[in-house]
Copies of this chain bind each other. A is one copy, B any other.
Amino acid sequence: MPKLSQRGVEIPPSPIRKLVPFAEEAKKRGRIIYHLNIGQPDIATPEIALNAIHTLDKNVLEYSHSAGYESYRRKLAEGYCTIGIEVNHQQIIVTTGGSEAILFTLMATMNPGDEVIIPEPFYANYNGFAVAAGVKIVPVTSGIERSFALPPIAEFEKLITPATKAILICNPNNPTGYLYSRNELEQLRQIVLKHDLYLFADEVYREFCYDGEIHHSVLQLQGIDDRTVMFDSTSKRFSMCGIRVGAIVTRNTDIIASTLKFAQARLSPPGLGQIAAEAAMDTPPEYFETVRNDYIARRDYLVEALNTIPGVVCPKPKGAFYTTVRLPVNDTEKFAKWMLTDFEYRNQTVMMAPAAGFYATPGLGKNEVRIAYVLKLDDLKRAVECLKIALGTYPNL
Q: What residues of chain A have their CB less than 8 Å away from a CB belonging to chain B?
A: 1-2, 4-9, 11, 14, 17, 40-45, 49-50, 53-56, 58-64, 96-97, 99-100, 103, 107-112, 114, 125, 127-129, 132, 134, 165-166, 196-198, 226-227, 239-244, 252, 254-255, 257-259, 261-262, 264-273, 276
Question: A111: which of B5, B11, B239, B252 is its contact (CB, 8 Å)?
Answer: B5
Whether B241 contacts A62 by the Cβ 8 Å rule is yes
Q: Is the CB of A96 within 8 A of B244?
A: yes
* B2 close to A61 (CB less than 8 A): no
Copies of this chain per assembly = 2
The complex places the Cα of A15 from the Cα of B103 at a distance, in Å, of 24
The reply to whether B108 and A262 contact each other, CB–CB distance below 8 Å, is no
Q: Which of A54, A128, A129 has the most CB of B within 10 A?
A: A128
Q: Are B242 and A5 in contact (CB-based, < 8 A)? A: no
**Residue contact B62 to A272, C-beta cutoff 8 Å:** no
**Once the chains bind, are B108 and A8 in contact (CB under 8 Å)?**
yes
- Roughly how many angstroms separate A127 CA and B128 CA in the complex, as a whole number? 22
Contacts A242-B271, A244-B268 given; 19 further ones with Cβ under 8 A?
A1-B196, A1-B226, A2-B109, A2-B196, A6-B111, A8-B107, A40-B62, A53-B53, A53-B54, A61-B276, A62-B241, A107-B132, A125-B265, A125-B267, A128-B264, A132-B132, A243-B271, A272-B272, A272-B273
Smallest CB-CB A-B distances: 4 pairs: A128-B265, A242-B271, A8-B258, A61-B240
Please indicate the chain B residues that have their CB under 8 angstroms from the CB of A54 in the complex.
53-56
Q: Are A63 and B108 touching (Cβ within 8 A)?
A: no
Inside 8 A of A166's CB, which chain B residues have their CB? 2
Pick the residue among B103, B129, B242, B267 that contacts A97 (CB under 8 A): B267
List residues of chain B with CB within 8 A of the CB of A197: 2
Sample of 24 A–B contacts (CB below 8 Å): A1-B226, A1-B227, A2-B227, A5-B110, A8-B108, A8-B258, A17-B264, A40-B62, A41-B60, A45-B58, A45-B61, A49-B61, A53-B56, A54-B54, A61-B239, A62-B242, A63-B241, A96-B96, A128-B262, A129-B265, A241-B267, A244-B268, A272-B272, A272-B276
